[in-house]
Amino acid sequence: MSSQVVITETMVRVENVRKSYGQGAAAVHALRGVSFEVPRGELVALKGRSGSGKTTLLNIVGGLDVPDEGRVLVDGLDLSELGEDGLMALRRDRIGFVFQSFGLIPILTAAENVGVPLRLRRAEVRAREERVELLLALVGLADHARQRPGELSGGQQQRVAIARALANSPALIVADEPTGQLDAETGHAVMELLRAVVRSENVTALVATHDATLLDLADRVLELSDGEIVEH
């Protein structure tokens, strides 16, 4: 099937998505007919208790998992029409991922970690170095380019992870509890950085968080409760 991109004002459209794990009486219904839209250029927070289905939903939106029913469109692409190669290209070129655990490569410097996605795309060396320098400056770590993750604080590591997520100029950032391992003050600073990045880089962000103090930084809040969406 065709995977031609259709430019719309909606970056993410989730339509009646259902996902269960297990079978019979032991089945866990993670998502029960979830539907919502995320407009371009918005920072949307996804809140809910542990086990409410946030990570499952983010994995489906990010093309890391597939729903049992329903469909997801990202940047005009229907994920159900993409093969594995198409999903891989989507994750590489259009979606930036930020995780609670940072996910940095310990033996690489901050600059080298940020440059990994550009290496995977075989970006020209000079262009890669310029993009890395720009992104480290954007997240306030221009002076830490040569330091390895173990030499950085948790907040600094998460800033490197955000810069890495932006390396390929994605249309969408998917962030799963990006402040979960940080203290309240650092977590707030990281969330403010994400909001600033959405504005400056003209990207869209879907951010899962359990921290109520961060929700006021979002343009909109969606709540997941027992696998169903409740919009605030």
Strands (E), the chain: 10-21, 28-39, 43-47, 69-74, 77-78, 95-99, 172-176, 204-208, 220-225, 228-231
Q: pLDDT of 112-171, one tens digit each?
A: 999 999 998 888 999 999 999 999 999 999 999 999 999 999 999 999 999 999 999 899
pTM of the model: 0.87
Query: What order do you get walking across the sheet with 77-78 strand by strand?
Result: 28-39, 10-21, 69-74, 77-78
Superfamily of domain 42-65+82-231: P-loop containing nucleotide triphosphate hydrolases (3.40.50.300)
Q: Distances from the Cα of 184 to the Cαs of 104, 154, 155, 190, 211, in angstroms?
A: 22, 12, 11, 10, 9
> In the predicted model, is pLDDT for residue 110 greater than 80?
yes
Which amino acid appears at position 107 of this protein?
A: I
Domain limits, the chain: 42-65+82-231
Structure tokens at 169: 């100029």
